[in-house]
Structure 1
Amino acid sequence: MESTRPEIAVDYPPFFRIYRDGSIERLDTETVPPGLDPKTNVESKEIVYSQETGQHIRLYIPQNATSSSSAQKLPLLVYFHGGAFLIGAAASPTYHNYLNSLVSEANVIAVSVDYRRAPEHPIPACFDDSWDALKWVASHHGGNGPEEWLNRYADFDRVYLAGDSAGANIAHHIAIRIGKEKPDGVNLAGIVLAHPYFWGKEPVGDEAKDPGVRARLEQLWRFAHPTTIGGADDPWINPFVGQSLASLGCTRVLVCVAEKDLLRHRGCHYVEELKKSGWGGEVELMEAQGEEHVFHLNKTSCENAVAKLKKVAAFMNPDKKEV
């Protein structure tokens, strides 16, 4: 009897498998509940930010902030997870553990956004969801929002966006939209782009020129955005097409790249193009030697991961000296 299972189009073990019919099989779907993390003393909880889609955020705060009688205002981080727009979740152990560590190190309150993923919800669903999450967060800036942690502890004069890989791509686009629309309640101080998932038809710098490698990456992008007209030069994946980086709605940017990451050259190119765009802010590049894509999520205790964590924490606390 012949198998009725569709033919595999793209196989990325241990992460996902995409079939010729456009369906996806996610191979790692483990999640962990929110709560108090005994290692970092960071508390977390989940809140639905969109009744229409049922999407939620996971909110993190250092326990010492809620136990203090002074109601100290903390910098506010809005974080977007990675996963090629196809996988990943705010509730995954990888992101839950990373946000616990980052919130503890930086002493910030963080919102980790869960967004709808392709191919079930193709581009631009993730960008729409992320913007809706940001607006939900901003609704607390006057102290009258639905979530007390944000009302009492979030400093809306010190808002940061961050993300890794596809999440860094989202952070960039949200920052561009903030710069254009200037929504109430969001004073965007800076963004952190970790190993940003940008691409394009033509290589930049010493980027891989192998047609097979480039075609595979474009194929992956087309699974996330099947109706794309520009392919790898679609403005959602290539930030140098159809938009000006000068409209970025913040004054500080930190771009993190890894030496052995295929996407490294795009991150470096982003820094150079941002400097030439007329944007006028300050951009910094941090490169981890000998490391691969999103290594800091998988090798959390290695020297480079620790250094990156401290760098990002210091970026969100510019008035404090980096140790």
Structure 2
Amino acid sequence: MESEIASEHLPFIRIYKDGRVERLSGTEIIPPSLDAATNDVVSKDVVYSPEHNLSVRIFLPHKSTAGENKKKLPLLIYIHGGAWIIESPFSPIYHNFLTEIVKSGNFLAVSVQYRRAPENPIPAAYDDSWSAVKWVFSHSDGSGPEDWVNEFADFGKVFIAGDSAGGNMSHHMAIRAGKEKLEPRIKGIAIVHPAFWGRDPVDEKDVQDREMRNGIAEVWEKIASPNSVDGTDDPLFNVVGSGSDFSELACEKVLVAVAGKDVFVRQGLGYAAKLEKSGWVGDVEVVVEEDEGHVFHLQNPNSKNAEKFLKKLVGFIIG
């Protein structure tokens, strides 16, 4: 019974009849490091939710920590992707990416761990991410529980970013910040290859293949969010095609990054178009890499296009 497979959802997970979940990727962990002698960026893990045993990984450029170089830095809150199912801030792919952009941009970054499906179905990931955002903002008066954030974060320059599922959640964090009047105000959000979807295509160029559409719907409806009344038309997932109000988006500027060979490309472009028409007062910038696929910058970080995107993201944060 223990070894009998109940369902398999490649390339993410295998679920066994005894309830055990086997993640097929995104399970490797890299430790943080405070060794400033050999690292341009130091990092540490800090628990933000004792209730759920969840941490953030904080990244700090060590050249900003010494003597007369000390100064306030822009702050990036990062929400990782992985279909709400796999990966973590401690995965090599995310640890290395955050290290590189922090090194390039000379800012402070807080990478968020959240509970993942199927053990903790949506909305757990959204609730946890919001708890992490509020935890970060508890430092805005300099008296929060974490010294690095108290000492180095410039709360006039706070950004939220994420890719794929994390891009989706970054949008919802900014919407929630507007509804709950989060202060200080978020400066900007970066929505990278966002996992937005719906029962129907958003336009004639969106994915028409029914089998592919059903495959994406299955991940949401059977694994990530089985309790969604509207399935893939849940407003958490169907951000573009639903009647969601964007006017309360609580930031000054938005970067939307899409890849031409990504299944979510039309959704990302549709999101930017909807935002521009929504009555939201702010600046929208769209970055398109036509010949690349989903999260190419994470899959092939040394490529020219990945380096170009990294510069664009860093510029968005420090510009």
* TM-score (norm: length of structure 2): 0.94
Kept in 1, the 8 Å contact 2:2–2:16? The answer is: no
Q: After superposition, where does 1:124-143 map in structure 2 within 5 Å?
A: 124-143=123-142
Q: Which amino acid aligns with 2:197?
A: W
Q: After superposition, where does 1:1-323 map in structure 2 within 5 Å?
A: 5-12=4-11, 15-18=12-15, 24-28=21-25, 29-35=27-33, 36=35, 41-184=40-183, 186-205=184-203, 206-222=205-221, 223-240=223-240, 241-318=242-319
Kept in 2, the 8 Å contact 1:37–1:100? The answer is: no
Structure 1 unaligned blocks of 5 or more:
319-323
Secondary structure at 1:193 match in 2: strand
Which residue of structure 2 lines up, in the alignment, with residue 321 of structure 1?
none
Q: Which amino acid aligns with 1:6?
A: I
Q: C-alpha separation between the residues in 2 aligned to 1:68 and 1:252?
A: 33
Q: C-alpha separation between the residues in 1 aligned to 2:96 and 2:69?
A: 27
Note the C-alpha offset of 1:180: 1.3
Note the C-alpha offset of 1:317: 1.6
Q: Which amino acid aligns with 1:204?
A: V
The 1:30–1:3 alpha-carbon spacing in structure 2 relative to 1, beyond 3 Å, is closer
Q: C-alpha separation between the residues in 1 aligned to 2:254 and 2:73?
A: 19
Further displaced range: 205-214 or 256-265: 205-214
Q: C-alpha separation between the residues in 1 aligned to 2:287 and 2:128?
A: 29
Kept in 1, the 8 Å contact 2:63–2:69? The answer is: no
CA RMSD of aligned residues (A): 1.8
Secondary structure at 1:237 match in 2: coil
Q: Which amino acid aligns with 2:77?
A: V
Note the C-alpha offset of 1:106: 1.2
Note the C-alpha offset of 1:183: 1.9
Secondary structure at 1:95 match in 2: helix
Note the C-alpha offset of 1:130: 0.6
Q: Which runs of 4+ in 1 moved over 6 A?
A: none
The 1:94–1:39 alpha-carbon spacing in structure 2 relative to 1, beyond 3 Å, is farther
The 1:37–1:194 alpha-carbon spacing in structure 2 relative to 1, beyond 3 Å, is farther
Note the C-alpha offset of 1:23: 5.3
Residues 155-205 of structure 1, C-alpha deviation per residue, up to 9 Å, x if partnerless? Answer: 001100000000011100000001111123x32010001100000111023
Kept in 2, the 8 Å contact 1:11–1:18? The answer is: no
Secondary structure at 2:49 match in 1: coil
Note the C-alpha offset of 1:294: 0.4
Q: C-alpha separation between the residues in 2 aligned to 1:284 and 1:160?
A: 15
Secondary structure at 1:272 match in 2: helix
Q: Which amino acid aligns with 1:26?
A: R
Kept in 2, the 8 Å contact 1:34–1:45? The answer is: yes
Kept in 2, the 8 Å contact 1:77–1:108? The answer is: yes
Secondary structure at 2:269 match in 1: helix
Kept in 1, the 8 Å contact 2:4–2:17? The answer is: no
Kept in 1, the 8 Å contact 2:41–2:99? The answer is: yes
- How many equivalent pairs are there? 314
Structure 2 unaligned blocks of 5 or more:
none
Q: C-alpha separation between the residues in 1 aligned to 2:90 and 2:290?
A: 30
Kept in 1, the 8 Å contact 2:36–2:62? The answer is: no
Q: C-alpha separation between the residues in 1 aligned to 2:67 and 2:199?
A: 53
Note the C-alpha offset of 1:40: 5.8
Kept in 2, the 8 Å contact 1:17–1:24? The answer is: yes
Kept in 2, the 8 Å contact 1:23–1:119? The answer is: no
Secondary structure at 1:316 match in 2: helix
Secondary structure at 2:200 match in 1: coil
Residues 107-152 of structure 1, C-alpha deviation per residue, up to 9 Å, x if partnerless? Answer: 1100000000000000000011011111111111111111111111
Residues 250-272 of structure 1, C-alpha deviation per residue, up to 9 Å, x if partnerless? Answer: 11000111110000110000000
Kept in 2, the 8 Å contact 1:40–1:101? The answer is: no
* TM-score (norm: length of structure 1): 0.93
Q: C-alpha separation between the residues in 2 aligned to 1:146 and 1:287?
A: 39
Kept in 1, the 8 Å contact 2:5–2:14? The answer is: no
